[in-house]
């Protein structure tokens, strides 16, 4: 069986900065991978390349064996990929429920007009409500997305990603800025998402949680993979340790 996600020698440069510098790895179906590294390591850039928001200077991206390197975001969503953003950006003037329904329409067609034609509102509303319950936002359906506190907005971000019924979900710092209780709730949601068979790639600075829930860690530093494997073994590696200590690893609250 093909890997859920496969990267071969992916690289991108921004001016003088090699943000991603020859990254190769495969993520198997059903895996739960933590993608970690100091600030500026290239984590967000890499997952934006995977999602089709940035085109790499070289290298290939495959989803379930399908080469999507030249495809846009819509084709990747249809191939089973979903992404949450480091900076949350819901449609603030829309309700929480409509934010999730809109996410679901995106899977079927990249045209908003056709998406609306295809939406069976009763069915879609029921499904969106189910997803909101899963992320702990049951009861908040009618609130305006822009009125939610950050903790709930970050859960809405996960709900919107789930609306496309993904096989693989890329989460960019879903715990950043959350207090201990909110982070614990968000981790529970992510674990539940994984338990439903979705492959998870989690970018996170909260190493305590990452070590607790990920089966495998991939460590980026200066755009390169410097560690990959069982979390405890990876963290015990002096090269990884030096990258964090030497690189001035900052707290997740800052990011």
Ligand X SMILES: Nc1ncnc2c1ncn2[C@@H]1O[C@H](COP(=O)(O)OP(=O)(O)OP(=O)(O)O)[C@@H](O)[C@H]1O
> Is residue 99 close enough to count as binding Mg ion by CB under 5 A?
no
Other C-beta atoms lying within 10 Å of the C-beta of residue 67: 12
CB of 21 to ligand X, least distance (A): 10
Q: Would you say 42 or 151 has its CB closer to Mg ion?
A: 42
Instruction: Specify burial of residue 238 (Cβ count, 10 A radius: 0-12, 13-18, 19+).
Output: exposed
> Is residue 43 close enough to count as binding ligand X by CB under 6 A?
yes
Question: Could you give the 3-state DSSP secondary structure of residue 203?
Answer: strand
The entry of ligand X, Mg ion, none near residue 194 (CB within 5 to 8 angstroms by kind) is none
The entry of Mg ion, ligand X, none near residue 151 (CB within 5 to 8 angstroms by kind) is none
> Is residue 44 close enough to count as binding Mg ion by CB under 5 A?
yes
Site string for ligand X, 77-96 (x = CB under 6 A): ---------x----------
Q: Would you say 53 or 134 has its CB closer to ligand X?
A: 53
Q: Would you say 115 or 249 has its CB closer to ligand X?
A: 249
> Is residue 39 close enough to count as binding ligand X by CB under 6 A?
yes
Distance CA 73, CA 48 (A): 10
* H helix runs in the chain, sequence order: 43-51, 73-78, 96-108, 112-118, 121-134, 150-162, 180-195, 207-213, 231-236, 238-246
Backbone angles phi, psi at 121, to 5 degrees: -55, -40
> Is residue 186 close enough to count as binding ligand X by CB under 6 A?
no
**Within the chain, what is the greatest distance between any pair of CA atoms?**
56
Q: Would you say 43 or 62 has its CB closer to Mg ion?
A: 43
Is the separation of the CB atoms in 125 and 132 below 8 Å? no
Choices 37-45, 68-76, 163-171, 241-249 (CB under 5 A): range interacting with Mg ion: 37-45
Contacts of 128 (CB under 8 A, 6+ apart): 97, 100, 101, 104, 141, 159, 163
Q: Would you say 44 or 199 has its CB closer to Mg ion?
A: 44
Rounded (5°) CA angle 99-104-105? 100
Applying CB under 6 A, among 8, 17, 29, 75 the residue interacting with ligand X is 17
> Is residue 19 close enough to count as binding ligand X by CB under 6 A?
yes
Based on C-alpha coordinates, what's the Rg of the chain?
18
74-93 positions binding Mg ion, by CB under 5 A: 86
CB of 43 to Mg ion, least distance (A): 5
Other C-beta atoms lying within 10 Å of the C-beta of residue 137: 23
Q: Would you say 11 or 102 has its CB closer to ligand X?
A: 11
Applying CB under 6 A, among 21, 23, 34, 42 the residue interacting with ligand X is 42
Q: Which residues bind Mg ion (CB under 5 A)?
A: 43-44, 86
Which parts of this chain interact with ligand X (CB under 6 A)? Answer: 14, 17, 19, 37, 39-45, 86, 255
């Amino acid at each position: 069986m093909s890997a859920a996600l496969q990267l071969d020698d992916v690289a991108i440069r921004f001016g003088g900065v090699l943000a991603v510098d020859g990254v190769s790895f495969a993520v198997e179906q059903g895996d739960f991978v933590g993608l970690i590294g100091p600030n500026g390591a290239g984590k967000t850039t890499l997952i934006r390349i995977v999602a089709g928001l940035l085109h790499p200077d070289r290298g290939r991206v495959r989803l379930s064996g399908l080469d999507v390197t030249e495809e846009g975001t819509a084709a990747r969503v249809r191939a089973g990929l979903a992404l949450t953003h480091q900076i949350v950006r819901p449609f603030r003037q829309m309700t929480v429920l409509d934010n999730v329904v809109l996410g679901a329409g995106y899977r079927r067609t990249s045209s908003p007009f056709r998406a609306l034609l295809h939406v069976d509102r009763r069915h879609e509303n029921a499904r969106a409500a189910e997803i909101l319950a899963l992320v702990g936002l049951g009861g908040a359906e009618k609130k305006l997305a822009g009125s939610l506190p950050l903790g709930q907005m970050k859960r809405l971000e996960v709900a919107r990603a789930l609306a496309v019924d993904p096989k693989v979900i890329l989460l960019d710092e879903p715990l950043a800025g959350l207090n201990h209780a909110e982070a614990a709730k968000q981790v529970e949601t992510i674990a539940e998402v994984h338990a439903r068979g979705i492959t998870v790639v989690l970018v996170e600075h909260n190493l305590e949680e990452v070590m607790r829930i990920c089966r495998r860690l991939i460590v980026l530093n200066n755009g390169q993979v410097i560690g990959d494997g069982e979390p405890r073994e990876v963290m015990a590696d002096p090269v990884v340790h030096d990258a964090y200590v030497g690189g001035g690893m900052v707290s997740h609250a800052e990011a």
